[in-house]
Amino acid sequence: MKKLRTIIVAGLLVWIPLGITIFAVKLLIDLLGQTYLLIPVGLRPENLLGFSIPGFGIILAIIILLGTGLIAANYLGKTLVEAWEKLLDKIPLIRSIYNPLKKFAEIVLSDQTQSFSKVLLIEYPRKGVYSLCFQTSKEVGEIKGKIGDDVVCVYIPTTPNPTSGYIIMVSKDEVIELEMSVEDAIKMIISLGVVVPAIGGKE
């Protein structure tokens, strides 16, 4: 029975991550495919050409992303985006949803070296208990002036979902910088600590 249980667990460790990955990819593809609905019925390929084009929604989504990026990257585009965001900022409910999501996306997608660039170890929630976290910023502005200490802002993810968590300010003297990559740290968090990367990146 013990050997049978070991075999079943080994099988689950293969299929559960694979199943979740397939589900996430399918969900993303389905979501991108919904851009197809933006085209009026009379202008869709099956009505104009007489046949449907597989993956047309995804192709359209990529074109929209590229077009939006090109527009937002120039001066006129930036002006329009700023005007649009000012309009959204005047709507209470939309503002409370849009602004935090935009800030989070800027942090995660930013190429700044201090954003999610380091994996740290801190004593939290009490002395003698350690938690993995990610450095999000070294500049904490007013906070540093108020507490009179040199601190960094860190993000502590929850397990097994690293997209939820909370931020805390920690003194630089109490932070232990690790050699593992952000990707390896996320693997460890998602696996509930089962996948532990060794020094050099090999698990």
Name which residue leads in pLDDT, 161 or 173. 173
pLDDT given for residue 112 in this prediction? 52
CA 91/CA 168 separation, integer angstroms:
29
pLDDT of 114 above 70: no
Query: Would you state the structure tokens that stand for residue 110, as one six-digit string?
Result: 């930013």
Q: pLDDT tens digits, residue range 136-158? A: 877 777 887 787 778 888 999 88
**Selection from 72-76, 108-112, 144-148 with the highest mean pLDDT:** 144-148
pLDDT given for residue 124 in this prediction? 92
Kindly report the length of the chain.
203
Structural contact between residues 155 and 133, judged by C-beta atoms closer than 8 angstroms: yes
Residue 123 pLDDT class (50, 70, 90 cuts): very high
Phi/psi at 155 (5° precision): -110, 120
- Element housing 188 (H / E): helix 182-190
Q: Token pair 């309009």 is at which residue?
A: 87
Rounded to whole angstroms, what are the CA distances from 170 to 19, 110, 165, 186? 38, 22, 16, 21
Where are the domains positioned within the chain?
45-109, 119-190
Name which residue leads in pLDDT, 137 or 103. 137
CA 46/CA 93 separation, integer angstroms:
39
pLDDT given for residue 131 in this prediction? 93
Burial of 120 (0-12, 13-18, 19+ CB in 10 A): buried
The alpha carbons of the chain give a radius of gyration, in whole angstroms, of 23
